Amino acid sequence: MNPQQLTDPQDRPARLTVGVVGAGRVGPALAAALRMAGHRPVAASGVSDTSMRRAAALLPEVPLVTPAQVLARADLVLLTVPDDTLPGLIEGLAETGAVRPGQLLVHTSGRYGTSVLQPALRAGALPLALHPAMTFTGTAVDVDRLAGCSFGVTAPEELRLAAEALVIEMGGEPEWIAEEARPLYHAALAIGANHLVTLVAQSMELLQEAGVAAPGRMLGPLLGAALDNALRSGDAALTGPVARGDAGTVAAHVTELRRHAPQAVPGYLAMARATADRALAHGLLKPELAEDLLGVLAHQDEDGPGGTGGGADSADGTSGGGR
């Protein structure tokens, strides 16, 4: 397929049939966005009842078939399966002859670039990695959220125009990511979004425990302002007891967390240490206050249930491996 085919408006609509392998939260939304741009979803595959309902809602009248049948019907195939499933899926499709020469195979994994598509490339497919930097709900709202959404794009040089055209047609903005930088890129997004959900959920639970009737209403303006400030100013937006070096307040926090939510203590300590390090490095936290604060955090590790700083280290390591 000529990449120019995707950039000429007269050639774009309906001449690309679209298939989805993996009707999770992402695939049907992207296919629906491509349909709005004039392309034609023709097949999807899904296993669970949830995925079937999702496909029916976002892609009405699109038949649910096997992955091999999706590839047989579509010019453009969206491979929207979990990261760990993707390599085996591609190998299996290539080995069974399901991949056709000239077929666009697009995966949406943040972790992988186009090298994971190598088995399909040998079969003549055109490989693209298009990862939307967005959290998905599996509902129609996801299609609207794609407007202005950045996509982490990795593509061979000869397919850059095609990749850019597809992202723009879905309402997104392409951001080029080198093959070797994909894992780091994905880790950065995971830290920012996945861990944010955990932090907000913990905060809401603690506010409920403290007697706040509407935790979401209380947190909304605060977190909205904090996010806006952080995006505008980075570390200069740091506030609160850790950035100020209020060691006594931090110690009181940990005492209360141990009493009411001991499962939240390791995460609190890990984030407090990370915040202190960043505040100190950027001149927001005075060295003499940092010493007292870090001493309190180290003491809290030692006094933790079940032993010592090993528990907090494990929590810290788990956090680092996620987002």
Number of domains in the chain: 2
Q: For residue 319, what is the enclosing H or E element?
A: helix 309-322
Residue 48's pLDDT band (cuts 50, 70, 90) = confident
Q: Is 112 within 8 Å of 129 (Cβ atoms)?
A: yes
248 & 124 share domain: no
167 & 54 share domain: yes
Q: Does residue 42 sit in helix, strand or coil?
A: strand
Mean pLDDT of the chain: 89
- CA-based R_g, the chain, Å: 24
pLDDT value at position 303? 59
CA distance 126 to 68: 17
103 & 211 share domain: no
Per cent of the chain over pLDDT 90 is 83
13 & 145 share domain: yes
256 & 216 share domain: yes
25 & 155 share domain: yes
| Domain final residue pick, 155, 177, 199 | 177
Model confidence pLDDT, tens digit, residues 263-310? 999 999 999 999 999 999 999 999 999 999 999 999 876 655 443 333
Residue 321's pLDDT band (cuts 50, 70, 90) = very low
pLDDT value at position 47? 84
End-to-end alpha-carbon separation of the chain, Å?
36
**Backbone phi, psi, residue 303, to 5°:** -90, 0
Q: Is 104 within 8 Å of 75 (Cβ atoms)?
A: yes
Give DSSP secondary structure letters for 72-128.
HH-SEEEE---GGGHHHHHHHHHHTT---TT-EEEE--SS--SGGGHHHHHTT-EEE
26 & 86 share domain: yes
Residue 295, C-beta contacts closer than 8 angstroms, at least 6 positions apart: 247
171 & 189 share domain: no
pLDDT at position 10 over 70: no
Residue 4's pLDDT band (cuts 50, 70, 90) = very low
The CATH number of the domain where 124 resides is what?
Answer: 3.40.50.720
**Backbone phi, psi, residue 116, to 5°:** -65, -20
pTM of the model: 0.83
Burial (CB count <10 Å: 0-12, 13-18, 19+), residue 251: middle
Q: The domain containing residue 260 runs over which residues?
A: 185-322
21 & 115 share domain: yes
pLDDT at position 53 over 50: yes
Range 229-233 average pLDDT: 96
Model confidence pLDDT, tens digit, residues 174-220? 999 999 999 999 999 999 999 999 999 999 999 999 999 999 999 99
200 & 128 share domain: no
